[in-house]
């Protein structure tokens, strides 16, 4: 195996559970050292690439993992003895991109296979262009609100929009981000293999374009990151013009006077925000008995009062759209509704357009999973908590992982990226299990909705099973100075926690910039920070972050604050900081510079060692 060492990557000295097979003695340090030039890429300093031709395979110790690993070979023989790459990723969406960049940082020779365009759903047909449309809808809604403008002392003439200009803004943003992702991978030496990728056998990937010969490449490890496509229920005929999915809606080819949106989850809510701001009337069709079923019930009720009731939106709940016929021959779109419980016909709607926002389905057809004895479950690739693929016999498929929407654990772009990074940590020797309860989610309506962890019903169910009491704390945006200055006092933050030990179970926010505010809570959950400790964190005033500050301070926790050295060392006053910086025996700027310089010298030293090893191998 040939691997590439580059000064453009952060050099990681292996931990003691790495084993290096080379012609020189193995070496290891007890702690990994990640060396960087203060965030600057090494290309800025003109360093060149060095090639290490010695075999330096990293072996991962799987001690403590109880799942049996079985080599499920199919019709394409045994695993290869040497590999073209350390890691091949099938799918260049946000998950695949995040995994590729982390793999390069870890020193892995990496390739990514993409049959469509780099960026996947998120960049090209999802989060990125939708945020461009939502940015327009937010600005337009604000300018059209005479009451809001008057409260700020502003006078604005009639606000309007150019449909093509709005569509171009979304398309241009997607193109720019797609170009950035492509260039970032190329700059770091990731090989982009163009074509549809399939699993050809153990540690083998076949890829190619229609009409061209296929190519087969091998890799020590493979990650499936093929994402998802819009899910369209049976009986719905999509023509891409009057009956559309989110893929079509993001092109904004026209703005209908009246549009029905099937599904009131994240996708449906965001598009209702866009369409109503642009002048459309919206009708929600929801199979469950309430709108926004995936949200915390209290937050959902408040959001309905603000985002649904005052706008040109009506809704039908507890019904299925069993048949939708596109507009043709001068007739409108016809939607037949059926009662979700009795399955009896209930109503018929005639609208100008219908948007199908019933979720997404994994894109795993044709992946060649049968070659390795893997059977999908409703299209999802079965994996364990470490994203390792499980075959039809319940055994782990060696060196094969699946991340993102294709595994169905959490269908969010940033979750896919986090899963990819977790996999790379594992294949480079560090066991890592991602906590999905710490991954935040957001709906970019105006105002926004965000959440992390459990909803209140989920938390109370967990409390009953495990025998602890769930407490709730709340704070309003009406008490926040910055929100009032923006004339955006409508909002609520809600905390679910254990009063006995201060564990954060969930946080839900509805209000201005909720999507940005949630990360303090998600990071606290990820790091295991308890409420009694986070209460001492200081927030700038006046900022929206004080909504979370007040939320944590209002919680009543019985357990005392941590007395650990880390906590006490970080709790210093401004006077302490001044004395700390002036004390001759304390670390100062010179010591920081010396520390950074030592890191640079170490990076150069280890690079020289690798170069010397390479020279020996060529002799």
> What is the distance of C-alpha 47 from the center of its chain?
33
> What is the distance of C-alpha 240 from the center of its chain?
27
| Percent of the chain residues topping a pLDDT of 70 | 79
* pLDDT higher than 60, residue 566: no
* pLDDT higher than 90, residue 59: no
Average pLDDT, the chain: 85
In this prediction, residue 570 has a pLDDT band, given cuts at 50, 70 and 90, of very low
Q: Where in the chain are the domains? A: 85-230+361-428, 243-358, 437-554
pLDDT tens digits for 68-94? 444 444 445 566 778 999 999 999 999
HSE of 225 in the Cβ direction (CA atoms, 13 Å)?
Answer: 37
Residue 472, helix vs strand vs coil = strand
Tell which wins on pLDDT, 299 or 40.
Answer: 299
Burial of residue 93 (number of CB atoms within 10 Å: 0-12, 13-18, 19+): buried
Whole-angstrom Cα distance, residue 333 to residue 350? Answer: 6
Its CATH class, for the domain covering 85-230+361-428, is alpha beta
Whole-angstrom Cα distance, residue 550 to residue 568? Answer: 22
What are the residues whose beta carbons fall under 8 Å from the beta carbon of 615, sequence distance 6 or more? Answer: none
**85-230+361-428 and 243-358: same fold?**
yes
pLDDT tens digits for 215-226? 999 999 999 999
The structural architecture, per CATH, of the domain 437-554 is 2-Layer Sandwich (3.30)
Nearest to 531 by CA among 510, 512, 550: 550
Residue 561 has a pLDDT of 87
Residue 609 has a pLDDT of 63
* pLDDT higher than 50, residue 5: no
In this prediction, residue 303 has a pLDDT band, given cuts at 50, 70 and 90, of very high
In this prediction, residue 580 has a pLDDT band, given cuts at 50, 70 and 90, of very low
User: Stretch 298-325: mean pLDDT, rounded?
Assistant: 97
* pLDDT higher than 80, residue 393: yes
State the Rg of the chain over Cα: 27
Query: Tokens standing for 617?
Result: 């191998």
Residue 563 has a pLDDT of 62
Q: Answer for the pair 505, 498: CB distance below 8 angstroms, yes or no.
A: yes
In this prediction, residue 459 has a pLDDT band, given cuts at 50, 70 and 90, of very high
Residue 58 has a pLDDT of 37
Query: pTM for this one?
Result: 0.79
Topology of domain 243-358, CATH: FAD/NAD(P)-binding domain (3.50.50)
Tell which wins on pLDDT, 53 or 264.
Answer: 264
Residue 211 has a pLDDT of 84
Active site residue 148: no
Nearest to 275 by CA among 259, 292, 291: 259
Residue 53 has a pLDDT of 36
| Percent of the chain residues topping a pLDDT of 90 | 72
Residue 575, helix vs strand vs coil = helix
pLDDT tens digits for 142-162? 998 888 888 999 988 888 999
Whole-angstrom Cα distance, residue 185 to residue 191? Answer: 8
Which of 36-40, 297-301, 431-435, 471-475 has the weakest average pLDDT?
A: 36-40
* pLDDT higher than 70, residue 421: yes
* pLDDT higher than 50, residue 103: yes
Pairing of strands 353-356, 258-262: parallel
User: Stretch 166-175: mean pLDDT, rounded?
Assistant: 95
Tell which wins on pLDDT, 578 or 144.
Answer: 144
Whole-angstrom Cα distance, residue 57 to residue 108? Answer: 10
User: Stretch 402-429: mean pLDDT, rounded?
Assistant: 97
Residue 574 has a pLDDT of 42
User: Stretch 209-214: mean pLDDT, rounded?
Assistant: 88
Tell which wins on pLDDT, 358 or 27.
Answer: 358
* pLDDT higher than 90, residue 343: yes
In this prediction, residue 589 has a pLDDT band, given cuts at 50, 70 and 90, of low
User: Stretch 290-295: mean pLDDT, rounded?
Assistant: 93
Residue 81 has a pLDDT of 75
pLDDT tens digits for 238-256? 999 999 999 999 999 999 9
Residue 583 has a pLDDT of 47
Residue 80 has a pLDDT of 74
What are the residues whose beta carbons fall under 8 Å from the beta carbon of 526, sequence distance 6 or more? Answer: 435, 438
Query: Which residue in 23, 432, 541, 583 is the catalytic one?
Result: 541
Could you tell me how many residues make up the chain? 619
- What sections of 436-505 are H helices per DSSP? 456-466, 481-485
pLDDT tens digits for 469-527? 999 999 999 999 999 999 999 999 999 999 999 999 999 999 999 999 999 999 999 99
């Amino acid at each position: 195996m040939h691997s590439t060492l580059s000064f453009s990557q952060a050099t990681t000295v292996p931990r003691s559970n790495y084993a290096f097979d080379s012609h020189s003695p193995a070496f290891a340090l007890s702690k990994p050292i990640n060396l960087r030039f203060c965030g600057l890429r090494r290309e800025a300093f003109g360093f060149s690439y060095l090639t290490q031709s010695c075999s330096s395979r990293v072996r991962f110790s799987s001690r403590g993992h109880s799942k049996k690993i079985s080599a499920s070979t199919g019709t394409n023989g045994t695993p290869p003895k040497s590999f073209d790459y350390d890691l091949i990723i099938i799918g260049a969406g946000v998950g695949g991109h995040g995994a590729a960049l982390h793999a390069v940082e870890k020193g892995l020779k990496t390739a990514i296979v993409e049959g469509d365009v780099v960026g996947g759903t998120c960049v090209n047909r999802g989060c990125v262009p939708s945020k461009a449309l939502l940015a327009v809808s937010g600005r337009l809604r604000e300018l059209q609100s005479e009451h809001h403008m008057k409260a700020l002392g502003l006078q604005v003439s009639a606000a309007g929009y150019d449909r093509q200009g709005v569509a171009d803004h979304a398309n241009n943003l997607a193109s720019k981000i797609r170009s950035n992702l492509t260039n970032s991978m190329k700059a770091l030496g990731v090989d982009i293999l163009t074509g549809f990728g399939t699993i050809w056998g153990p540690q083998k990937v076949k890829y190619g374009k229609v009409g061209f010969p296929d190519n087969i490449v091998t890799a020590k490890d493979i990650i499936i990151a093929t994402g998802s496509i819009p899910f369209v229920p049976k009986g719905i005929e999509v023509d891409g013009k009057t009956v559309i999915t989110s893929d079509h809606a993001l092109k904004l080819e026209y703005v209908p006077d009246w549009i029905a949106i099937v599904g009131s989850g994240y996708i449906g809510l965001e598009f209702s925000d866009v369409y109503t701001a642009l002048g459309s009337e919206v009708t929600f069709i929801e199979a469950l008995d309430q709108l926004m079923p995936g949200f915390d019930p209290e937050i959902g009720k408040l959001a309905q009062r603000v985002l649904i009731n005052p706008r040109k939106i009506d809704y039908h709940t507890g019904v299925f759209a069993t048949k939708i016929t596109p507009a043709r021959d001068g007739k409108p779109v016809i939607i037949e509704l059926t009662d979700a419980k009795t399955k009896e016909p209930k109503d018929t709607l005639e609208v100008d357009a219908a948007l199908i926002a019933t979720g997404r389905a994994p894109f795993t057809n044709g992946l060649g999973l049968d070659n390795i004895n893997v059977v999908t479950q409703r299209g999802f690739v079965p994996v364990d908590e470490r994203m390792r693929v499980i075959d039809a016999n319940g055994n782990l498929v060696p060196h094969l992982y699946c991340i993102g929407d294709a595994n169905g654990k959490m269908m969010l772009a940033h979750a896919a990226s986090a899963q990819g990074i977790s996999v790379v940590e594992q294949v480079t020797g560090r066991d890592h299990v991602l906590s999905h309860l710490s991954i935040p989610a957001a709906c970019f309506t105006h105002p926004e909705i965000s959440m992390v962890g459990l909803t209140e019903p989920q938390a109370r169910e967990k409390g009953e099973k495990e025998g602890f009491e769930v407490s709730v704390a709340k704070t309003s945006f009406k008490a926040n100075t910055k929100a009032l200055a923006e004339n955006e006092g409508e909002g609520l933050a809600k905390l679910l926690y254990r009063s006995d030990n201060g564990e954060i179970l969930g946080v839900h926010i509805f209000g201005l910039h909720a999507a940005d505010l949630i990360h303090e809570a998600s990071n606290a959950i990820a790091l295991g920070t308890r409420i009694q400790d986070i209460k001492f964190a200081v927030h700038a005033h006046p900022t929206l972050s004080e909504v979370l500050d007040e939320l944590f301070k209002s919680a009543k926790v019985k357990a005392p604050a941590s007395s650990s050295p880390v906590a006490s060392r970080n709790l210093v006053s401004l006077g302490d900081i001044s004395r700390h910086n002036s004390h001759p025996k304390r670390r100062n700027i010179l010591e920081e510079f010396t520390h950074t310089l030592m890191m640079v010298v170490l990076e150069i030293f280890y690079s020289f060692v690798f170069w010397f090893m390479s020279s020996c191998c060529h002799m």
